[in-house]
Amino acid sequence: MANIPIWPGSSSFHPGDTPFGFYDNDPVFEKDADKVCTFVTRRLGYPLVEIELQAINIYAAFEEAVTIYGNELYAYKIRENYLTLEGAPSSIEIDESIVTPNLGRIIDYSEQYGTEAGTGGNVPWRKMGVPLSGSVQDYDLDAIAAQNGFSQSNDIEIMRVFYENRPASALMMNAYDGFGFGLGGTVAAGIDGVGGLGGFGYGGGYLMMPLNYDMQIIQQIEMNDMVRISNYSFEMHDNVLRVFPIPTAGNNVSGSAGFDPNNPSGSAGTMWVEFMLKSDRSSASIVEAYDKIKMVSGVPYKNPKYNEINSVGRSWIFEMTLAICKEMLGYVRGKYETIPIPNAEITLNQADLIAASREEKEALLTSLRAFFDETSREKLLERRTMESNFVMEELDRVPRVIYIG
């Protein structure tokens, strides 16, 4: 032990005495460095016992403690504000800024839900028709998409399938559909006895009928289609569309004359499919951001300014410096487990120092993190709500004054 330098009793800090020099030019750090040396050595037992540390060891521990404090502080700030910080310019002076939460990233996330629901978003929905054929129930949408110019069949994601009936107004105006105002139609026959208007043909009859009558006819057609005509339903199996019931030729949206027994496999109308390309979704979700904050490690926090740390934070730093120095001293003394003396030997306390250091560092980090958590935005809002509720309860106990005037 005689070859190991011991604490001389005093120190004099100079810039460059710490390993990294993060805070060497801070006048408050320079002033506190020698005070910390005195604090640490006296807490370790000096001058009653010799301390096998030098000033540069304690300076290094002091610098490390300040850096740990800053890391914990900024990790907390990043957790609180990352939704706002992500995508911001990486060149911002965030150490000198107050970050106000906004809905920017939340709106970005909500656009993805809008895309899936078909109510918005930034990924286009595409549309293609699926020609139905009589007696054909299954339709390969990948093949149909390829026919429409989308060569990467596995890139298609079906979002919605729907069938468009003929509009009731088209049926109403069709002279050969039974509902129309044409020659020989039921309406024309019905009004022929009232003023003899049936002979005017469908144009004249339409002009002479009241508008509310048109609306009643449209409602009758729509109700007829809903009750008497089976609407299509479907299932999707790996981009194969299965239609229920099996389509019947002639039941199409363009207004055919009906089923043709000589062509049972003819056209049965058209179903429409809205879909997305998975590549469109990927392109919308991945944005190049060379000069933006892209991950938590890219948030441009720097080392804290020691002179801006308050007395509460500095007290924590002093205690962490002491815990680190205990660990250093334990490792130094661990080189010699015992020291021989005449007729006996002295056992050193390196194991106790290292164990105490680890416990103290863990306790300090736990208390600091708990303090930051208690001052988080969420906790502060909860406390404000509790205070408001308490005040309202107290005010409810105050008697109300009844004014008579």
320-330 pLDDT, tens digit each: 999 999 999 99
User: How far is the C-alpha of 158 from the C-alpha of 154, rounded, in Å?
Assistant: 11
Average of per-residue pLDDT across 47-69: 96
Between 67-76, 108-117, 335-344, the lowest mean confidence (pLDDT) is in: 335-344
* pLDDT(110) > 90: no
Burial status of residue 228 (CB atoms within 10 A of its CB: 0-12, 13-18, 19 or more): exposed
Give 16-40 pLDDT, tens digit per residue. 999 999 999 999 999 999 999 999 9
Assigned token pair, 368: 């600091």
pTM, to two decimals: 0.61
Of 41-55, 139-153, 299-313, minimum mean pLDDT range? 139-153
Length of the chain: 405
Confirm if 300 and 331 have CB atoms less than 8 A apart: no
Q: Which residue has the higher pLDDT, 105 or 135?
A: 135
pLDDT classification of 171: cutoffs 50, 70, 90? low
Number of Cβ within 10 Å of residue 231's Cβ equals: 10
Give me the pLDDT at residue 238, please: 80
Does 362 score more than 80 pLDDT? Answer: yes
301 CB-near residues (< 8 Å, 6+ apart): 70, 74, 77, 78, 94, 95
pLDDT at 341 over 70: no
Look at strands 138-140 and 156-163 and give their pairing. unpaired
CA distance 167 to 250: 16
Instruction: Output 259 or 130, whichever has higher pLDDT.
Output: 130
Q: Say what the pLDDT of residue 250 is.
A: 62
Compute how many other C-beta atoms are within 10 angstroms of the C-beta atom of residue 239.
Answer: 19
DSSP string covering 61-130: HHHHHHHHHHHHHHHHHHHHHHHHHTTSBTTS-GGG-PPPP-SHHHHHHHHHHHHHHTSS-SSPPEEEEE
Could you identify the residue written with the tokens 């900024």? 74
Choose between 159 and 65: higher pLDDT. 65
On average, the pLDDT of the chain sits at: 80
Span 172-181, average pLDDT: 52
Contact partners, residue 210, CB within 8 Å, separation at least 6: none
Q: What is the pLDDT of residue 165?
A: 63
Expressed in angstroms, the distance from the first to the final Cα of the chain is 95
Residue 184's nearest CA partner among 211, 202, 171 is 202
CB 29 within 8 A of CB 307: yes
Quote the pLDDT of residue 71: 94
